[in-house]
Amino acid sequence: MNTVNIPLLDLNDYVHGNPDERKRFSDNIGKAFNETGFVTITNHGLSKELIDKLYAQVTALFKQPEDIKLKYEKAELAGQRGYTSKGKETAKGFKTPDLKEFWQIGQTVTDNDPVKNEYPENLVVEELPEFNSTTREVYQKLENAGKQLLRAIAVYLNLPENYFDDKVHNGNSILRTLHYFPIEDPDSIPADAVRAGAHEDINLITLLIGASADGLEVLTREGTWFPVKAHGEDVVVNVGDMLQRLTNNKLKSTTHRVVNPPREQMKNSRYSVPFFLHPKSGMDLTCLESCIDAQHPKKYSDITAGEYLDERLREIGLKK
């Protein structure tokens, strides 16, 4: 029997709760991140109307003619802003690219923070003005929810509650709008081609708004795949490799994938919008002393978030 603890937690219990509710939330998210690396969150600040509007805009974007989309693909941005076409991203350790195309939106710095000079400008979709305003609003709301979640995680780790605040303020976070495109003839693709090969996320935590179809699966400790249902307004949150490194594996960056649907459904599109919460590039990911002991010796070399991101982007083929 698989023991998969993916609890449904209410973020209001932490943000507006009494001390007992806040502690319970912090304990529950810590326990789940320790065991499976995944939780589902309600009351994250995104209304159903905003989510519906987001998916309508994302669908409209990927329905644009190929030549329109390609004018927003800039090789020098290594997929970090704008459009990335089919066949560009390959999961680490795989040879066949994922069956997807995507668009990435990054940080908008509004307070004269010098980190602004590190970030490329976001590309504006001239054809869809609402896409730009909607994705920016979603970015800000998910970033805010992510900061609250990191506060609960800091408490679980016996760190000051605001430990992550300055590290993720104007962080290098990415909102990715994804299109797993239709395959009319499944026999025409390589046998090992999947929508997203088994991988771990690079960042601190990922917040995923319920996708338009099933397919997300996590690898259990027993080595079997367990489907994660993320429909409607719930947000699925998982640990990324940066948080796993920082906590010396106390919190788990769980392997996950997006599998192909049954053959007859391959001709249907699947849309998905994950928010990858990154710190600023200068954040030190050296394992926390409190997570190292005789039973848990230090597993990782010292590295900054920027150095680690650079290394991983090369591994997945986005950076040459």
- Mean pLDDT, residues 237-259 taken together: 94
Q: Residue 317 — very low, low, confident or very high, per pLDDT cuts 50/70/90?
A: confident
Q: Across the beta sheet with 256-258, what order do the strands follow?
A: 196-199, 256-258, 216-219, 225-227
- Mean pLDDT, residues 72-86 taken together: 92
Q: Residue 51 — very low, low, confident or very high, per pLDDT cuts 50/70/90?
A: very high
Q: Which has more confidence, 92 or 73?
A: 73
Nearest to 240 by CA among 286, 216, 212, 275: 275
- Provide φ and ψ at 11, rounded to 5°: -60, -25
Q: Which has more confidence, 4 or 49?
A: 49
Nearest to 244 by CA among 196, 295, 303: 303
Sign of the alpha-carbon dihedral angle for 14, 200, 76, 102: negative
- Digit-coded pLDDT (tens) for 262-271: 888 889 998 9
Number of H helices, E strands in the chain: 8, 12
Q: Which has more confidence, 186 or 101?
A: 101
- Mean pLDDT, residues 197-218 taken together: 86
Nearest to 23 by CA among 164, 204, 144, 161: 161
- Digit-coded pLDDT (tens) for 82-128: 999 998 888 888 888 888 999 999 999 999 999 999 999 999 999 99
Give the whole-number percent of the chain exceeding pLDDT 90: 69
Q: Which has more confidence, 301 or 89?
A: 301
pLDDT of residue 102: 95
Distance CA 268, CA 262 (A): 10
**Residue 213, pLDDT above cutoff 70:** no
Q: Which has more confidence, 4 or 27?
A: 27
- Digit-coded pLDDT (tens) for 214-242: 788 999 888 899 888 765 688 999 999 99
Q: Which has more confidence, 18 or 191?
A: 18
pLDDT of residue 1: 44
Rounded to the nearest integer, the mean pLDDT of the chain is 92
Q: Please tell me the pTM assigned to this model.
A: 0.94
- For residue 314, count other CB atoms closer than 10 A to its CB: 12
- Provide φ and ψ at 259, rounded to 5°: -85, 160
* DSSP letter (8 states) at residue 304: B
- Digit-coded pLDDT (tens) for 130-185: 999 999 999 999 999 999 999 999 999 999 999 999 999 999 999 999 999 988 88
Q: Judge contact between 98 and 91, C-beta under 8 A.
A: yes
Bridge partners (DSSP) of residue 304 are 284
Task: Mark out the alpha helices in 16-164 (DSSP H runs).
Answer: 19-35, 48-62, 66-70, 129-156
Q: Residue 38 corresponds to which tokens in the numbers above?
A: 């995944």
Output the CA–CA distances (angstroms, integers) from residue 33 to 21, 106, 170, in the order listed: 18, 26, 25
pLDDT of residue 107: 97
Distance CA 95, CA 89 (A): 10
Q: Judge contact between 175 and 140, C-beta under 8 A.
A: no
Q: Judge contact between 106 and 120, C-beta under 8 A.
A: yes
* Complete domains list, the chain, with CATH: 8-315 (2.60.120.330)
Q: Residue 2 — very low, low, confident or very high, per pLDDT cuts 50/70/90?
A: low
